[in-house]
Chain A
Amino acid sequence: MRMKTLLAGLALTTALTVPGLAMARPVTLTTTLKNYGGNGAYLALYVTDASGAYKGTLWVAGPKSKYYSHLSGWDRASRGNVAGINGITGASVGAGRTLKVAVDLADALFDAGYKLHIDVAAEDMRDSPSEVVVPLTAAGAGRPVAGRSYIQTFTYGL
């Protein structure tokens, strides 16, 4: 269990600030992993826009940047921008464990075609880019989604 609140200065929030809509709300991202029978997993949580273009990173779990290339979707999209994730990284997540991260997201990101992606990778196991892809909508909040290989449930709560 891990809590992290990002209050200000988050690249994503500022990048998408629209005059008059510059309101942000706290969002809790809860990711529970399956017992996939491997060492601790690396995760990247990031957002793309309606056209699939990368917009920003919310969280990276896993301490060693040399393994980030295994988070291949994110690595490709963010072009390995390690400097840009300063302050939003944490430990890897063990099998069966839950990662809980709190972030502030701009209101403008919701119901506007933006998608939240999670890439997962674990040692000696198959990389799983876009393990979860979920549209950011007000209605989708609190509804658990399952991943392809590693993620039991993912929920974002407003």
Chain B
Amino acid sequence: MSALTDDTLPMTPRAMRDEMIVFALMAALLAVVPFTGIYPFFVMQALCFALLACAFNLLIGYGGLLSFGHAMFLGTAGYVSAHALKVWGLPPELGIVVGTAAAALLGLATGYISIKRQGIYFSMITLALSQLLYFLYLQAPFTHGEDGIQGIPQGHLFGIFDLSKPLVLYYVVLVGFLAGFLLIYRAINSPFGEVLKSIRENEPRAISLGYKTDQYKLLAFILSGTLAGFAGSLKVFVAQNASLTDVHWSMSGEIVLMTLVGGLGTIFGPVVGAFVIIAMQQYLAGFGQWVTVIQGVIFVSCVLLFRRGLVGELAHLLRRSL
């Protein structure tokens, strides 16, 4: 099995320093967004998707597992959070916890099933499982079918922060994103992350070294699903609805696309990719179905021409780890 990223640089202090500088830059840039006149709702949405793509990237970029059903975590957490907030009347922090926990459980169940097979079979299984969930949610009464759950109360986070104020919501989403991002970053650079990478490079060898690779893969799958769910729960507060769109296979495809455009297995790639794709959807919305075609063209050209993605190519050019 050939590697997905051909230049996995060893983790040197210099690389670490570079990454921290870029991270600080990114955080600073995002923190001043509300004062630049950029439409904050757009950025909030993009942040949710960026976290989602980062979670997805943990699996594909570092574990070599291409999940084609990650929308199921986004949608499940969204539905559960929305239901908890609206019907059970839970406060926002608990709503997020419940939604994320649901995604974690789902990650455990679907991960257990899908890691039984490797490579493209794994992708097809995750796709089929998410389609199964799509149909279940379509029929389940609590999701209200294609009407979706609407008008979700935003409430006060910890009883203090009024989430119906765009500025407050923005910083809450930003903090959530940065926390998720750092957690993923930490996981990648932990011994756990190193084992994952070794599984990606050569699973039989990892097994021969005594690693129970299935357990590592399952753990990675659950972690990725949980964080994707966290993104889904955050998104509920931004969009104030939960709908079938978030569980549909085309959403899973978009998650893959974001990560691919930014760069599989790069740390900042998924963030860049998410912003590019969300911006594209916004500004090309007038072109209707051509958006799908353009997405397809990007897919094809990414695979054929620049497999490293935007950030991957840049990192390669600068000979830096990004």
The answer to whether A and B assemble together is no
Residues of chain A at the chain B interface (Cβ within 8 Å): none
Residues of chain B at the chain A interface (Cβ within 8 Å): none
